[in-house]
Structure 1
């Protein structure tokens, strides 16, 4: 495909709760007004929407370029995109779900600061430096166990994530309780799209723009990004590396969630994969719809 050619796909989203959006793409030149646009039917995990359908213009050249990029990444990767305050979602790639790892520290910090502003320094360390000890203190401040899990889930629900559950007890001896929450990219990007709109989220969103320099890979390459990363090995020692956050576009703010699981299992290779995906996104910002809180 000639990258100078324009490619468009129109997706009709049939609103069905609990089903991940699947983005599809085809190649071709921009159709004239008389030519029909390609369509496909997919489902949107939006139980809050009215029954019926709505249309979203899929950024076609990004879909094509992502497919091309993924062929050389050397591992599994996934990407989900939504406008802030919006309902339209597109997803790409062959990775869709896994442990939240430290990305779950965002709703955890919001819940803890709502409970008591005295934990501000722990929230700052948990977000900006991904400090596990500080995050454990935040978890304990919410009562630990079922109480803490419910408090974090309540924040997720406010952000439109109606499915993710936070464990009440430790799943793995070498990992935090909360970090092993299964968090799909679709649910994570939906939460991100509402994150700045959630009451009392401002302090944590601000901390997401103060991430330490050594964590400035992936979304960290965008100067205005508010983001949080998470990473850790599976039982076989192979790393999953993921991030989510907010970036600027010409039309507003965009929520991004992406993840990489390199075939090598290396953390550094996972970071490199996210860097490459971030570079790809930066070249397609004009195709992506941004938004704002209502």
Structure 2
């Protein structure tokens, strides 16, 4: 029996070593045009999770100096929850990091809202501009109303999300909080958001809104705003206890192409400024690992 158990342990060690030797870079580094043999999803001790819903195997590996390992170190210094998701534009695989995974969309939902409204009528261009570049809530409310009833508006925005590969997010048709917009309280997971971002520039009639995401006002240039070529949109708001969630998603350049990023932070302090500071640190971390990240392009 002991001999059999030792053989079983040796077999597990050989499997683990084979996995380690076969994965010499973070899985996302090959998300664009990697050979099939390198497409296994990888879970590291960051923790990093493979694309939810993937049936690929996972391993617990954190390579020293990798984005995964460095995110682990960064998160240990955070007082609060944080999450990061990465996916190549036009790609199929993602990686996610951290202990925050889902929450209200807040103003990030203004991106699919603006696309839906401009498809309906180009007359709302000025409202779309204000809603995206300055996160103007009044302008976004006008875009929402332009789509018809609450149910019609919710269906139109969900339609844009579906075109972007997000098959799960639903948008409320009626207000769920008296102090918040109807659409901003849509529950949007980090994984679904980055999946949508990865297809955003490929969606028909999205060019105008993606262009506006390059014109975000200076006071909102925390997080992904540090990347000069970024097209991004932030969203933030307090929970019923008054503690802020700060999130952001967008597109950045890498040596291998365009990358979709979604980040979020919910500091224990509940402070908006503490949340943006956490996003700044995550953006800095990403900038130091761009060479690891596999980018992509629309088909």
TM-score interval (norm. to shorter): 0.7 to 0.9
Question: Which residue is equivalent to 1:24?
Answer: 43
Q: Distance in 2 between matches of 1:41 and 1:99?
A: 21
Matched, 1:214 2:219: yes
CA distance change for structure 1 residues 90 and 59 in 2, over 3 Å: closer, same or farther? farther
| 1:36-51 to 2 correspondences below 5 Å | 44-45=52-53
- Bigger share in helix: 2
CA deviations 1:48-99 (Å, max 9, x no partner) are xxxx7599xx995101000100010111000000000000100000000000
2:98 is the counterpart of 1:79: no
- Distance of 1:213 and 1:266 partners within structure 2: 20
SS of the residue corresponding to residue 108 of structure 2 reads helix
Give distance in 2, aligned partners of 1:72 and 1:275.
Answer: 14
Q: Could you say if the C-alpha distance between residues 199 and 114 of structure 1 is closer, same or farther in structure 2, counting changes exceeding 3 Å?
A: same
For residues 97-150 of structure 1, the C-alpha deviation after alignment (integer angstroms, 9 at most, x for no partner) is 000000000000000000000000000000000000000000000013100000
Q: Does 1:177 align with 2:182?
A: yes
Q: Is the 8 A contact 1:22 1:92 kept in 2?
A: no
Aligned to 1:247, the other structure's residue is in SS state: strand
Is 2:176–2:185's contact at 8 Å kept on the other side of the alignment? Answer: yes
* Whole-angstrom CA distance in 1 between matches of 2:50 and 2:249: 23
Structure having the larger proportion of residues in strand: 1
Q: Which residue of 1 aligns with 2:256?
A: 251
- Classify 1:9/1:248 alpha carbon distance in 2 versus 1 (closer, same or farther; 3 Å): closer
Secondary structure at the residue paired with 1:156?
A: helix
What residue in structure 1 maps to residue 120 of structure 2? 115
Q: Which residue of 1 aligns with 2:108?
A: 103
Residue 212 of structure 1: CA displacement?
Answer: 0.2
Q: Equivalent residue of 1:276, what SS?
A: helix
Structure 1 alignment gaps of length 5 or more: 1-5, 14-20, 28-39, 47-51
Alpha carbons 1:78, 1:259 under 8 Å: kept: yes
After TM superposition, the structure 1 = structure 2 runs for residues 196-215 of structure 1, keeping only pairs within 5 Å, are 196-215=201-220
| Root-mean-square deviation over aligned CA pairs | 2.5
Go from structure 1 to structure 2 and tell me whether the alpha carbon gap of 1:271 and 1:87 turns closer, same or farther (over 3 Å shift). Answer: same
Residue matched to 1:235: 240
2:266 corresponding residue in structure 1: 261
Q: Secondary structure at the match of 1:248?
A: strand
